[in-house]
Amino acid sequence: MQNFDLHNPTHIVFGKETVGRLNDLVPAGARVLILYGGESARRTGTLDEVRAALGDRAVVEFGGIEPNPSYETLMRAVEMIHRQGLNFLLAVGGGSVIDGTKFVAAAVHYKGDAWDIMETHGAVVEQAMPFGCVLTLPATGSEMNKGSVVTKAATKAKLVFASDHVYPRFSILDPTKTYSLPLPQVANGVVDAFTHVMEQYMTYPVDGRVQDRFAEGLLQTLIEIGPRVLAESDNYDARANLMWTATMALNGLIAAGVPEDWSTHMIGHELTALHGIDHARTLAIVLPANMQVRREAKRDKLLQYAERVWDITEGDVEQRIDAAIGHTRAFFESMGVPTRLRDYDIGAKHIDAVIQQLEAHGMTALGERGDVTLAQSRRILEASL
């Protein structure tokens, strides 16, 4: 097992009717900016509930954070905070709103051009405003991690930053808040969480037994509840399990002491930035092809995954690996998430542009061994056609 340093300070409050807990979680006397996305938080009544729970605190709202939040929009929130002297942020939404809030929290205190935060992947962040979250979409794990993904619309650059300063102070996870989600978003959540686990598990063995068993348990849980969360949209236990699995999939726990890949995500981010495909859908396209192209390097873990997650024990090594990759693709497809570039009207002629963006963003040595070069990314994209 590799050395690790794990400290996750986010306070989680989980369960039905927990939005009222905001009253104890947000400091009394705070001047709060509520950040939210399009219309869902208002339409579902969550925004009213949040406002009521905040009582007589001074509250200002900033709506309109788009899916794949843009730097341009977020900078307007930064201005608002300076202008109105606000001192606490509250994200009400999914990964995009929470990621956007993390960026705003860091940008408020940053003296230079705030895009530096993204270009340095967070290295320049020395402090951030405190913030909490009310999660409405289980998928990204952003509610309990220190990562954030922001897009500069002007250049179509979708970059990641991470900083210990942007862990949420708290996150409220009420599974009933997910009942109003459109089913494609629920499916996206399952696929995103599944791929998060795979990025931290499908590498090479380091005898991290707890990490491997936790990861396999999260994958099996997603496989079990995936069909249920789609078929029964008000099944509390299914939604509760999805919500907690998605959080646990990317809160640092299963990554501690093991190698991590993340090449599927980095290639996927370029597909979202160039073609507007939902984040999770880009992962469904790239992950099966990525496993296929790198099957030699990932051989031991692919065989472990085949046996422990999918119960594949028959056939020779290559057949078992083929079956494991096939089951993964079939699982995504069964969630209604297509897994080929052609399903999104993208063909071979679009690959050059993706490679150019990867190069422009320094994504030239990805993966757990840094051996996913641009040539390798091209092979993966070609295998996704």
Cβ of residue 250: shortest distance to Zn ion, in angstroms? 7
Q: CA-CA distance, 354 to 356, in Å (whole number)?
A: 5
Cβ of residue 170: shortest distance to ligand NZQ, in angstroms? 16
Strand bridging mode 147-152 / 157-162: antiparallel
The interface partner of residue 185, options being Zn ion, ligand NZQ, none and the CB cut-off 5 to 8 Å by kind, is ligand NZQ
Residues 307-366 that bind ligand NZQ (CB under 6 A): none
Out of 11, 31, 44, 109, the residue judged to bind ligand NZQ by CB under 6 A: 44
Cβ of residue 185: shortest distance to ligand NZQ, in angstroms? 5
Q: Which is nearer to ligand NZQ, 147 or 288 (CB)?
A: 147
Cβ of residue 95: shortest distance to ligand NZQ, in angstroms? 3
Does residue 184 bind ligand NZQ (CB under 6 A)? no
Does residue 282 bind ligand NZQ (CB under 6 A)? no
Residues 184-203 that bind Zn ion (CB under 5 A): 192
The interface partner of residue 148, options being Zn ion, ligand NZQ, none and the CB cut-off 5 to 8 Å by kind, is ligand NZQ
Does residue 141 bind ligand NZQ (CB under 6 A)? yes
**Edge-to-edge strand list for the sheet holding 170-173:** 11-14, 170-173, 131-135, 88-93, 31-36, 58-62
With beta carbons less than 8 A apart as the criterion, state whether 32 and 132 touch: no
**Residue of 266, 259, 273 lying closest to 376 (CA atoms):** 266
DSSP state of 372: B
Residue 148 φ/ψ, nearest 5 degrees: -155, 145
Does residue 250 bind ligand NZQ (CB under 6 A)? yes
Structure tokens at 88: 């606490």
Does residue 99 bind Zn ion (CB under 5 A)? no
Q: Which is nearer to ligand NZQ, 265 or 320 (CB)?
A: 265
Residue 244 φ/ψ, nearest 5 degrees: -75, -35
Q: How far is CA 185 from CA 75, 92, 182, 240, 316, in A?
A: 27, 16, 6, 16, 37
Angle at 282 between CA 186 and CA 329, to 5 degrees: 75
How many residues form the binding site for ligand NZQ (CB under 6 A)?
A: 34
Does residue 270 bind Zn ion (CB under 5 A)? no
Cβ of residue 67: shortest distance to ligand NZQ, in angstroms? 3
Q: Which is nearer to ligand NZQ, 30 or 189 (CB)?
A: 189
The interface partner of residue 100, options being ligand NZQ, Zn ion, none and the CB cut-off 5 to 8 Å by kind, is none
Alpha-helical regions (H) of 16-120: 22-25, 40-43, 46-53, 71-84, 95-107, 115-119
Does residue 143 bind Zn ion (CB under 5 A)? no
With beta carbons less than 8 A apart as the criterion, state whether 298 and 264 touch: no
Reduced to 3 states, what is the DSSP secondary structure of residue 318? helix
Out of 10, 18, 37, 258, the residue judged to bind ligand NZQ by CB under 6 A: 37
Out of 101, 178, 241, 292, the residue judged to bind ligand NZQ by CB under 6 A: 178
- As a whole number of Å, the end-to-end CA separation of the chain is 37
Out of 90, 110, 118, 147, the residue judged to bind ligand NZQ by CB under 6 A: 147
Does residue 41 bind ligand NZQ (CB under 6 A)? yes
With beta carbons less than 8 A apart as the criterion, state whether 146 and 183 touch: no
Residues 68-97 that bind ligand NZQ (CB under 6 A): 68, 93-97
Adjacent-strand bridge partners of 198: none
Does residue 39 bind ligand NZQ (CB under 6 A)? yes
With beta carbons less than 8 A apart as the criterion, state whether 274 and 281 touch: no
Residues that bind ligand NZQ (CB under 6 A): 37-41, 44, 67-68, 93-97, 99, 136-137, 139-142, 145, 147-149, 177-178, 180-181, 185, 188, 192, 250, 265, 279
Residues that bind Zn ion (CB under 5 A): 192
